[in-house]
Amino acid sequence: MLTIRKSGDRGYYDHGWLKTLHSFSFANYYDPRNMGFKSLRVINQDRIEGGTGFGAHPHKDMEIISYVVRGVLEHKDSMGNETQIYPGEVQRMSAGTGVVHSEYSISSEETEFFQIWILPDSVGGTPGYGQKSFEKEINSQKMVLVISHDGRDGSISIKQDADLYISKLHSGQDINFEVRSGRGVWIQLIKGRIQINDQVITAGDAASTTEPGNLQIVALDDSEFMIFDLI
């Protein structure tokens, strides 16, 4: 059985420079029915005006992942990293004992990205950073592993038994994904329209399940989505 989280049911805030949608309770948005899923704590879909962004602020004890959909995000942190993140790139910060960072849109247009938080398997530890472009793989393969616990298959490692896949499918293409016993799968649709078994979701919607079995995912339009496989 799939649980559907409709795009319009997410928390929405328009701060002028920032327009943001929260899948789970975050900041001033609180919904006791949506506090996270398994080890997945935050999925924010952020749109930032060019020349604006998030000033320096701290985090600790969280695995923070960013995936840029369009525009360019400039990142600076207290670990000494200064970099730019382009569409198709994935960034990971292991906050550990504490890190301070800033993120700014440096493109003339809006920058859109997903900010994702995953609870770590242990607290503390030295903060860490990872960044990689998966643009080529995402545009040539049906499903690409971008985040994993062990960094397998060229993915970026995190401190949790969690996998994140990104999939771009043309209309009519399909993939199968196996939900393993004791785990949960969350599918977040970025663009397009897909059918998961007998359920259809559209851009911004999500579908989740903890029931073992096969998920057949068919693109009804050209589509892009994230698949989280979590404990």
Mean pLDDT, residues 109-131:
97
Give pLDDT, residue 199: 98
Mean of all residue pLDDT scores within the chain = 98
Query: Looking at 71-110, which runs of residues are DSSP E strands?
Result: 73-77, 82-85, 89-94, 99-105
What is the per-residue pLDDT across 130-186, written as a single tens digit (0 to 9) for each? Answer: 999 999 999 999 999 999 999 999 999 999 999 999 999 999 999 999 999 999 999
Give pLDDT, residue 184: 98
Q: Do 160 and 123 form a contact (C-beta atoms < 8 A)?
A: no
Closest C-alpha among 171, 158, 173, 172 to residue 228:
158
Type of residue numbered 155: S
Give pLDDT, residue 33: 96
What is the per-residue pLDDT across 180-228, written as a single tens digit (0 to 9) for each? Answer: 999 999 999 999 999 999 999 999 999 999 999 999 999 999 999 999 9
Mean pLDDT, residues 28-32:
96
What is the per-residue pLDDT across 68-97, written as a single tens digit (0 to 9) for each? Answer: 999 999 999 999 999 999 999 999 999 999
Mean pLDDT, residues 106-110:
92
DSSP-H helix ranges across the chain: 135-140
Mean pLDDT, residues 107-117:
95
Give pLDDT, residue 226: 99
Longest CA span, the chain: 48
Give pLDDT, residue 206: 98
- Give all strands of the β-sheet with 144-148 in edge-to-edge order: 3-5, 206-209, 184-191, 223-230, 163-169, 144-148, 156-157
What are the structural domains of the chain?
3-230 (2.60.120.10)
Kindly report the pTM of this predicted structure: 0.97
User: Which residues, 6 or more positions from 216, have their beta carbon under 8 angstroms from its beta carbon?
Assistant: 174, 175, 176, 196, 197
